[in-house]
């Protein structure tokens, strides 16, 4: 989860977030090189007292600084397109979970099992325990097995919401009348926090998301209890 000392991206907990972090570093490196190069050239122009008599006739330099940005954009665009296809790909999911955004809470339904539908509300401050996180913890967490492909089906009942877990690299709009799909997997057992990332009304800040990643063995036990209830 993000804390007061987090200056960069959250630690990746899924293959998707790892790829996003790699692409972020790749693009940032290119931008740093361009910034240093342009800054050096501008500094040279400011402090250089020499003049170029044929400056208006520099066709070769015009060709060079037209081709170089195009090549640079190719080095950014190709990894970006590859990443877009990776994010959209859904192959052989282990479980399917449907979530619906409401003003202002989330409801979850495990489509592969019966009697596994529940609502997830933020825990009010007056009901919090010592181990709860203010404005981030919920009464019913979404439970998933780690190292398993999870397919999310996301929609909304009223206005546009956005289901977001930064450390998993997941951010999908929940649009009324539309069913969006996202696939991800968690690489470790942990608790992941997120929030609605689309301004959806007065209590937009009070509909957090909590995903608890546990072992498949304990996930089966949890699902069995839900079915019995």
Q: What is the pLDDT of residue 1?
A: 61
Dump pLDDT digits (tens) for 111-123.
888 778 889 999 9
Under 8 Å CB-to-CB from 205, ≥6 apart: which residues? Answer: 135, 195
pTM: 0.78
Q: Which two tokens stand for residue 32?
A: 């740093």
pLDDT of amino acid 153: 92
Q: ∠ CA 191-193-196 to the nearest 5 degrees? A: 150
Bridge partners of residue 180, in order along the sequence: 154
Kindly give the confidence (pLDDT) of every residue in the chain, 229 residues in length, as a single tens digit, with 9 standing for 90 and above: 666 667 777 778 888 888 888 999 999 999 999 999 989 988 887 888 777 766 666 778 788 888 988 999 999 999 898 888 888 777 788 888 999 999 999 999 998 887 788 899 999 888 888 888 888 899 889 999 988 889 999 999 989 999 999 888 889 999 999 999 988 888 888 899 999 999 988 889 899 999 999 998 898 888 888 877 6
Please report the domains of the chain, with CATH numbers, ordered by start residue: 15-48+58-88 (no CATH), 95-228 (2.60.40.420)
pLDDT of residue 156: 93
Rounded-to-integer distance, Cα 14 and Cα 209, Å = 17
What residue ranges in 27-186 does DSSP mark as E strands? 95-102, 105-110, 117-120, 142-145, 150-156, 161-165, 170-174, 180-184
pLDDT number for residue 56: 67
Residue 65: per-residue pLDDT: 82
* pLDDT at residue number 120: 92
């Amino acid at each position: 989860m993000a804390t007061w000392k987090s200056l960069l991206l959250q630690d990746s907990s899924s293959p998707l977030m790892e790829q996003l972090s790699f692409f972020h570093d790749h693009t940032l490196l290119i931008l740093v090189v361009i910034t240093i190069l342009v800054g050096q050239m501008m500094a040279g122009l400011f402090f250089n007292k020499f003049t170029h008599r044929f400056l208006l006739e520099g066709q070769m330099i015009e060709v060079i600084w037209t081709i170089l940005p195009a090549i640079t954009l190719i080095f950014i665009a190709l990894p970006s397109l590859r990443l877009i296809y990776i994010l959209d790909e859904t192959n052989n999911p282990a479980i399917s979970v449907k979530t619906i955004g409401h003003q202002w809470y989330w409801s979850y339904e495990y489509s592969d099992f019966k009697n596994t539908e529940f609502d997830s509300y933020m825990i009010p401050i007056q009901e919090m325990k010592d181990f709860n996180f203010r404005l981030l913890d919920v009464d019913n967490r979404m439970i998933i097995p780690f190292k398993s492909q999870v397919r999310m089906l996301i929609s909304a009942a009223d206005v546009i919401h956005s289901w977001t877990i930064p450390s998993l690299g997941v951010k999908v709009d929940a649009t009324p009348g539309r069913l969006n799909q996202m696939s991800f997997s968690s690489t470790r057992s942990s608790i992941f926090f997120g929030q609605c990332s689309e301004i959806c009304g007065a209590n937009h800040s009070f509909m957090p998301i909590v995903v608890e990643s546990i072992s498949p063995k304990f996930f089966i036990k949890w699902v069995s209890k839900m079915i019995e209830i």
